[in-house]
Amino acid sequence: MRPRTQIFIAIIGGCFAIFSAIILAPHWSKYFFPKQYLAQEKLDPSKTTNTKVVIDTVNRPSGKREEKEGVDDIKITKIELCPRNFKIPSYFYFEVNNSGSKTIKNLTVTVNLGKASYAYFDITKNLKLTTLTDSNDKSFLKIACPEIKENENIGIYLLISQPFFEDILIHADNLTFDKRYSYSEYLNSSTIEESNWFPGFLLVMLALAIIAFAIFFTIVIMYHFSKIFFKE
């Protein structure tokens, strides 16, 4: 093989390796540096496969500005609702997680059940929580937390008269915006989760193919360079 051909193959292989590194860098950086990725890209950190991904909806300003240090990122990371209505109460469970990089002050989580009502409820005991309930028709539950630190979460479990809720509102003194999650968004997120596995599978296969070709071209480049520079 001529030296020009070898140099041409080396250049093509190097460009492919650089292109592969550029394509894959954002994909892997969010796993190795989740906090920096969150702050720069303003994306939700990855969830485990047994939890539902919940899209936070900005409802209205809470009247407080974001603090200079840290990023506020509090969301519902898991939500489970009985899929059918039965004569006995249905279960309703969700978690509120502080995935940001600062402590959230005076957090309140308001659950509006709308046409449903709760029979019993329970909350996690690892935080100093207080509750305010509706004594008339038991259609809402309000939970107050003095502070929730980074990576802490609140679990809320209710037995309700029917598998439905109006919305969940999250408010805190140092949140940039109040966050509202509605029943319709829950239905939409469930549909997206069930139908969105195939694009993710294709992305994984593409990443594996790029890695395989990058390794192949690296071996080819090393082989040809060794023949050029280490001739006897």
- Taking CA 68 as the corner, what is the angle to CA 77 and CA 66, rounded to the nearest 5 degrees? 50
Q: Name which of 51-55, 158-162, 172-176, 191-195 the model is least confident about.
A: 51-55
Query: Is residue 220 within 8 Å of residue 5, measured between CB atoms?
Result: no
Please give the pLDDT value at position 89.
93
The DSSP secondary-structure symbol of 42 reads -
pLDDT digits (tens, 9 = 90+) for 164-190: 999 999 999 998 889 999 999 888 876
Which is more confident, 22 or 53? Answer: 22
Share of the chain above pLDDT 90, in %: 33
The whole-model pTM stands at 0.55
pLDDT higher than threshold 70 for residue 228: no
3-state helix, strand, coil in the chain (%, to 5): 35, 30, 35
The predicted model gives 23-37 an average pLDDT of: 51
Which is more confident, 43 or 28? Answer: 28
